[in-house]
Structure 1
Amino acid sequence: MPKGSKQKFKLYRLAQIMQEQTDEDHFITMPQIMAALAEYDITADRKSVYADLRDLEVLGIEVEGEPVGNRYHYHVVDRPFELPELKLLVDAIQSSKFITEKKTNALIRKLEKLVSKYDAQKLQRQVFVSGRIKTMNESIYYTIDAIHNAISENKKIRFQYFQWNVKKEMELRHDGGWYHISPWGLLWENENYYLVGYDDKADKIKHYRVDKMLHIKTSEEVREGKEHFQKLDLAAYAKKSFGMFGGKEQTVKLLVSNHLSGVIIDRFGKDVMMIPADEEHFTVNVNVYVSRQFLGWVFSLGEGIQIIGSEEVVEQMKAEAKRMIKQYGCSEKELSRQ
């Protein structure tokens, strides 16, 4: 490279030096700035560096100089993100199940570039989430982007859907057939992303795990099902679905012990009406998609909760209890002895 050709990168390198080597607690002097530029084969005099430091403000990089003894010490102030904000983002990325380990590391490295090298070390955090299993589908980010683009363009999408078999291999559902869906929203539930869309063949709203969608393509066909989604509250839809498993939507009446009031509020929100039944219990009516997952949730709370309506759901719970008794080989006589 011809002599002096690197001078045109002077402002860029100065910005890089200031952002990497300074923060609220770490400063750099003018001789140190000039020495750092020299490492990039860039010569500079004090007067030109003073002017360049002022020019950095045009790039959105505010540099402040503070007198310390007989010298000025310079540092970058007012970055786009504060360190606590970036720590929060790092924690969210590390604890997100749908972000792969590879992408997690790549995203954190990018966040580290937003702070000094000193603060970057503080972003090397490790968040431990019980039972967390990172997704193995690296294409999920592009799938999400494709879904958003299709929604903004008012187009349908086509994709294949898979499940894992006992050999831990991807196995396409519907014999590899393509799903043709009108996308209307993305839902975050139970650490997973779900596409919520309209299936015109079935004439109903369905949801799909985004990390299990493959080879997504935007169709030329305009989306359908607008009238369904104008009446749909996605937050309420998620609240009614336990583990995002489907089922018949029904109003279920529960008799609940007072000590489980927090569990009910966490699950159904503070707007749920809890009516006192006696000094130790209350009743609550909730709209849910009744599935084995919902029945399992009720079962997991033990004697503190009981389904008392509708009769149809009560009978479903009885049938599920009988199935479990049969599955584990318990006779009614054995249960009575316990």
Structure 2
Amino acid sequence: MAKSSNQKLKILYIMKMLLEKTDEENTMTINDMIAELERYGITAERKSIYDDIDALRHYGIDITTRKSKTTEYFVASRVFELPELKLLVDAVQCSKFVTYKKSNELIKKIESLASSHQAALLHRQVYVANRVKAINENIYYNVDRLHVAIAENKQVSFKYFDYDIKKEKRYRKNGELYFVSPYALSWDDENYYLITFSEKYNDFTHYRVDRMTNIEIVDQPRAMLPDNEQFNIVDYSKKVFNMFGGEEETVKLKFDNSLVNAVIDRFGKDVSLDKVDDNSFSIRINVAISSTFFAWLAQFGNKVKILSPESVIEKYKNSIQEILEQYK
């Protein structure tokens, strides 16, 4: 009886063995498949396996043959090719917001999308252990819950914390719940941020997802944006350097020509570059004035200069002076 039950699964086991054991470098013969099926308590004739392979091809699996002394079978293409899987593994490894445990779980699942031989190649690329990773194990599920709230046009509540010098959590607002209207999730500078709209301040703000706990979807619609305004996450990210906000200003900057790539990397190819002279160009951008913006400018030394407004020039000069004061 058990053998008869297994017999009905024969085509599924053939599909499983071809997906798991074969690729362009590793093949199986009909005899290999018969021997493998016997491990599952299934007997099979060659003709029935030919029929099953034809059925799997009609189903959409790219099973190819190669002639040598015998006919060899292998899966020639998959939903994800090996280079694509390598990119996915690299992304998981580099994702600071994904914890060690979840990183390893995700990578194992990615490996299952390849043959066992290709999975070994992926596994040799895994170097998660020494990377800086998030501490909050719930972040993976927090992100999913926040996506649901955004899709359902609902508010969310949560508690928000910082770490103190003892590396212990200290909740803001004495542990009271925040109630916000979520509009987008942004992955910026290796961290996940929830971007929300506040009716009280008529503006957007953001929170680090890995510092949020007790996240719940509230059965209340999100606050509406003023005058049917459309939220543009790309514009928001360009203005807010590394998610450290500040008062928004229109700033004119002059750069040395050698910094064209740095400017385009930061502001995108649509930024307008105006020639100043043979050695420099200027741009006019809206940015949130913050210490992070000033730090971005400072890395270029005397190859960048703020041209206007005067108030931002003074803030930048004061910021540099405060740093110099520490070394007197």
TM > 0.5 between the two? Answer: yes
Normalised by the size of structure 2, how large is the TM-score? 0.92
The aligned counterpart of 2:82 is 83
The aligned counterpart of 1:313 is 312
The aligned counterpart of 2:253 is 254
Q: CA deviation at 1:125?
A: 4.2
Asked if residue 273 in structure 1 is aligned to residue 272 in structure 2, the reply is yes
C-alpha distance 222-167 of structure 1, shift in aligned 2 (>3 A)? same
SS of the residue aligned with 2:8? helix
Question: Which letter maps to 2:275?
Answer: P
Pairing of 1:35-50 with structure 2 (within 5 A)? 35-50=35-50
Q: CA deviation at 1:128?
A: 6.9
Q: CA deviation at 1:190?
A: 1.0
Q: CA deviation at 1:36?
A: 0.7
The aligned counterpart of 1:336 is none
C-alpha distance 321-228 of structure 1, shift in aligned 2 (>3 A)? farther
The aligned counterpart of 1:111 is 110
Decide whether the 8 Å contact of 1:18 with 1:75 is kept in 2: yes
SS of the residue aligned with 1:261? helix
What do residues 280-320 of structure 1 show as CA deviations (whole Å, max 9, x unaligned)?
Answer: 23222221000111112222221111222111111111222
Q: Structure 1 stretches of 5 or more lacking a match?
A: 331-338
Question: Which letter maps to 1:10?
Answer: K
Decide whether the 8 Å contact of 2:180 with 2:197 is kept in 1: yes
Question: Which letter maps to 2:48?
Answer: S
Distance 1:102 1:270 in 2: 38
Q: Which moved more, 1:194-203 or 1:22-31?
A: 194-203
The aligned counterpart of 1:242 is 241
Normalised by the size of structure 1, how large is the TM-score? 0.89
% identical equivalent positions:
42
The aligned counterpart of 1:23 is 23
The aligned counterpart of 2:139 is 140
Decide whether the 8 Å contact of 1:62 with 1:77 is kept in 2: yes
Distance 1:72 1:135 in 2: 50
SS of the residue aligned with 1:272? coil
Pairing of 1:1-338 with structure 2 (within 5 A)? 2-57=2-57, 59-69=59-69, 71-126=70-125, 132-227=131-226, 230-326=229-325, 328-330=326-328
Question: Which letter maps to 2:191?
Answer: N
Decide whether the 8 Å contact of 2:3 with 2:42 is kept in 1: no
Q: RMSD in angstroms over aligned alpha carbons?
A: 2.2
Q: CA deviation at 1:8?
A: 3.2
Q: How many aligned residue pairs are there?
A: 327
Q: Structure 2 stretches of 5 or more lacking a match?
A: none
Q: CA deviation at 1:250?
A: 0.2
Q: Which moved more, 1:141-150 or 1:225-234?
A: 225-234
Question: Which letter maps to 1:145?
Answer: D
Distance 2:278 2:63 in 1: 65
Decide whether the 8 Å contact of 1:181 with 1:200 is kept in 2: no
Question: Which letter maps to 1:185?
Answer: A
